[in-house]
Structure formats: C-alpha cells, structure tokens
Amino acid sequence: MLEDCANSMPLSQDPMRYYRAKRDNARPRVGDKYSILGFISSGTYGRVYKAQSKAADAKIHAIKKFKPDKEGDVVTYTGISQSAIREIALNREISHENVVALKEVILEDKSIYMVFEYAEHDFLQVIHHHSQTLRVSISQHVLKSLTYQLLNGLLYLHDAHIIHRDLKPANILITSGGVVKIGDLGLARLTYQPLQPLFAGDKVVVTIWYRAPELLLGAKHYNKSIDIWAVGCVIAELASLRPIFKGEEAKLDSKKNVPFQRDQMLKIAEVLGTADERDWPGLKDMPEYQNLKRLDHYNNRLHEWSTPRVKTQSGYEFLKQTFAYDPDKRLTAREALKHKWFTEDPVPSANAFQFLPTHQIPPHRRITQDDAPSMMPLPTANSHAQAAAQVQAQAQAQLSQLSQSHSAKGSVASFGSNGGGGGGHTRKKSRLG
C-alpha cells in the first residue's frame, strides 16, 4: 500500500506524500479508541463530547474537537489556531489534582481532538442547581471546599507562570467525587518575561463579568492578579447564586477598538465603591482614567453585601482582599490559601460533596445525541462490538437525559451547530487576534 503510493507519486509535485501515507496508516483513530456517548456543549473553539474508552478500563472522557476549518463547504487545513496551540502546549506540561488532565491528543482528518478526564459537574451547573432546583444557597462547607480547591489549582498554575485569563463558573469543573478541576486553558499564557507583551496577542481577555478593573481600564500590563479577581467574582457568585458584577458589555467598534466598559465598571463601583487613587496609586496612569472620573460616585458597601451571603467576618475580609482595586494589593493564590477563613469551621475538604445528602448533589451532565454521530468520524469498522456499543451508548444517553429532565433549563443552553452555546451572550468573551 505504501509502495503503491511511492510508485504513483510524482516526487516533484508532492514529496511528502509517502510520509503522510505512512503516518496516516500508523495513527490510531478516535473511533477506534473511544465510543462517543453524546454531545455535551459547544464553546468558542469547538465542541465537547462525552466518550467512553474502548480500553479495558472503559473510562469516561470528555473529548474536545476543535472546529475544523472550512473553505466554503470543503474542510481544509488553514493552520492550527493560536488558542489550540496554547491549550495543547500548556496541557502537555502540567499535571495537578485540581487542573483537568489531558489524556491524549489525536490529530485525524484535519481535526484536533483533545481527550480530557471527565468531570461530571461544573461551578455554573452547581449554581443553577441551587438557584433553580433546590432554591437554597450553597452550604458554607461546599463553598469553602470549592474555593479552596480552586485556589489550590490556581496556585499550581501561577507557580508555573501560567495565567489562566478566563476563569468563570463554566470553566471550573468538579468531578463526581467532589474534586475541583480547572479547565479550558485556551486563553492561558506563560508569562515569565514573554517575548511579546501580554496585551499584544489578545485584545480582550476574561469574560466581562469576571474581568479585573485594570483590564477594564485598559491597562497594558497585567499579571496573575487578574485571575484572583475572577476567583473573587466566582466565590461571590457561588455565595449569592448570581453574578456579583453583572454588567452589559460594550461592543467593539467597527475598527475592533475596545471601548470603555462603562457599565461593568459601574456595577463594580456599586458594590466596592468608586476606585480611588489613595488605594490604588497606579489608577491615574490607566488609559481609561478620564472616563472613569466621569462616573457617578459610590460608597463601598461590600460589608453589607457579604454579611448575609458569606456570613462571617473572615469571609468578608477574604472577599475584600480578593477585590482589592490595586492589583498589587490583591491576595495572591498562596496568601489566599493561608487565609483565616479556611481555618475556621467548617473547614474545606478534598471532596466538596462529602457532607451533602444525595439529593443535593447536582445532577449529571446533560448530553444529547443530535449532533454526536455526524460530528465524529465514522468508526473504521462496522463490527458487531461497535454496533452494540452504539446501542448501549444511546440507551445510556437516553437514561441520563431522563434522569435530568427536571434539571434547570438553560444551564447547558442551545446545542445549535454554530457554536453559540453557553449561558447567554455576556458569559461569552470575544476573542481576538
């Protein structure tokens, strides 16, 4: 077969044909190694599927397929996106209990498949489960356990000089064993003295509600502390079941300039009070400083906000320190982990769901069948085993759908094929560059 290829090949036209044939023959195929159980979600860069390994362990995985490039209707190679390169490169280097583990990457038929360990839940889903179904707030033990583990994973990333740059509830996953797994490194970057300044690559980072004030004010330089701000927003959202700073995103103008995010800045000021040079000496150097000055003045009412939601004084102080306007005064992940809040009862545990009665544990991730078969490459052989697996998969999927018919609508929104899923447009960041 390979010889045939050598035979028929005009060398002068495509010297790499033999090489490719050889590689294509040797490469394991996604369909040979995994059976697709269903479709989970589509994000900015691709679609995520639930899959079961065909190996003896039969483990469940999440497979992220990057959107294939199309020219018209024909799938073609246009170059791997910067985001995919990042996510792949960083994931290959890291390994930590609280960061989603990449099992393997399969490149096949012009598509890239990243195979991750499977996480049954995520923060967004836990929030929805509590707000829509249980109608109670998240217990202090769960809140602290989730926060502690999140910070633990973040400390690992930060020590490795990786800024996540897109922390938000949908990207922070939880296994069925109650272990937090930070996911989606598609915007993450190595930051230690980079060749290019951070802002040069991506004009907009972090979904607007979780975006730190220095980013909103147009800072050209920023650091790890933007992740800490996002963590603060995430904790506040866990504690109150709704985003703490739910601003309207001002859209990019026709020249793709980033406008002043007035509404988001206002939403922050309403809780934290107006930013002030006395607390943040660098404030006046921010490009949007003049715009900021034009906003109405607000007083800080974080204490008022916190009391019913995080209960204790140390909980309030913890939030206050993650929400320091001045990035240099914000807690670091290391400091945060040592905070008094975590030493007071209830102390966090490695299984966040440890003390939860079964009915309070959020439901399994919803999957659908709609797109799954067509989006995945066909299995190479039509063996009996595969047909059986397919049937089984469908049955499982139906079962799990049944068991979740009560779960909140909208937590995993539209499964449309245009990649527009997620929870409303504002939860999506726009990615440029």
Partner 1 sequence: MATDFWASSHYKRWIVDRATLRQARAEDLQYVEDPEYFDLLNIFFANVISKLGKKLQLRQRVVATATMFFKRFYLKNSYCETDPFIVIAACCYVAAKAEESPVHIKNVVTEARLLFGGKFSSHYGIKTFPSDNSKLAEMEFYLVDDLECDLVVFHPYRSLMTLCGKPGNSAVLEAEAGELGVGIQDGSQSWGTGEGRLELQEGALQTAWFIINDTFRSDLCLLYPPHLIAITAIYLTLVIHSSTRDSIGLHSSDSSSGSNRRSPRSSHSHSKKPTQDIVGFMAGLNVSMEIIASIAQEIICQYTLWERYKEEKGEASARGSFATELQSSMSSGLKRTASGQLRAASVARSRDGTPVDSTQRIVGRTRQPAVVTPAFLAQLLIRMREAKMADMAHPATGRPMALDKRLERAQNA
Q: Minimal CB distance to ligand ATP: which residue?
A: 43
Q: Is 115 in the site for ligand ATP (CB under 6 A)?
A: no
Closest to 207 (Cα-Cα) out of 151, 162, 245, 159 = 245
111 binds ligand ATP per the rule CB under 6 A: no
Q: Which stretch binds ligand ATP (CB under 6 A): 41-49, 88-96, 105-113, 332-340?
A: 41-49
Q: Which of 31, 232, 247, 422 binds ligand ATP (CB under 6 A)?
A: 422
Give the C-alpha separation, 117 to 180, whole Å. Answer: 12
Question: How many chain residues interact with ligand ATP (CB under 6 A)?
Answer: 22
Q: Where does this chain touch ligand ATP (CB under 6 A) — which range of 73-81, 178-186, 239-247, 372-380?
A: 178-186
DSSP 8-state code for residue 250: P
Q: Is 212 in the site for ligand ATP (CB under 6 A)?
A: no
Please give the angle made by the CA atoms of 389, 393 and 399, to the nearest 5 degrees. 145
How is residue 89 written in tokens? 């490169």
Please state, in angstroms and rounded to a whole number, the distance separating the CA atoms of residues 25 and 311: 61
Task: Give the CA diameter of the chain.
Answer: 79
Phi, psi of 146 (to 5 degrees): -60, -45
- Contact (CB, 8 A) for 426 and 248: yes
- Tokens 């922070």 appear where? 172
CB of 271 to ligand ATP, least distance (A): 25
Nearest approach, Cβ of 94 to ligand ATP (angstroms)?
Answer: 14
**Residue 156 touches which member of ligand ATP, partner 1, none, C-beta under 5-8 Å by kind:** partner 1
Residue nearer to ligand ATP on the CB measure, 188 or 265: 188
Are 33 and 52 in contact by the 8 Å Cβ rule? The answer is no
Binding-site partner at residue 2 among ligand ATP, partner 1, none, CB < 5 to 8 Å by type: partner 1
Site membership for ligand ATP, residue 366 (CB under 6 A): no
**Residues of this chain that bind partner 1 (CB under 8 A):** 2-3, 6-7, 9, 11-16, 18-20, 22-23, 27, 76-80, 82, 85-86, 88-90, 92-95, 105, 107, 110, 156, 159-162, 189-190, 192-196, 201
Is residue 122 close enough to count as binding ligand ATP by CB under 6 A? yes
Region near ligand ATP per CB under 6 A, out of 182-190, 212-220, 248-256, 328-336: 182-190
Residue 75 gets which letter from DSSP? E
CB of 156 to partner 1, least distance (A): 7
- The partner in contact with residue 180, picked from partner 1, ligand ATP, none with C-beta cut-offs of 5 to 8 angstroms by kind, is none
From the list 73-81, 118-126, 328-336, 367-375, the region that binds ligand ATP by CB under 6 A is 118-126
* Type and span of the H or E element at 374: helix 372-375
CB of 281 to partner 1, least distance (A): 23
Residue 31 vs 422, nearer CB to ligand ATP: 422
For residue 350, give the DSSP letter.
Answer: S
Choose the one of partner 1, ligand ATP, none that binds residue 80, judging by a C-beta under 5 to 8 angstroms depending on kind: partner 1
Active-site position among 4, 109, 166, 227: 166
14 given a catalytic annotation = no
Nearest to 324 by CA among 302, 351, 355: 302
- Distance, in Å, from the CA atom of 175 to the CA atom of 349, rounded to the nearest integer, reads 14
* DSSP designation for 300: B
Radius of gyration, CA atoms only, the chain: 23
**Smallest distance, ligand ATP to C-beta of residue 325, A:** 26
Give CA–CA dist 373/382, Å, rounded: 14
User: Residue 317: enclosing H or E segment and its boundaries?
Assistant: helix 313-322
Rounded to the nearest 5°, which phi and psi values hold at 174? -140, 135
User: Phi and psi of 140, rounded to 5°?
Assistant: -60, -35
Annotated catalytic residues are 166
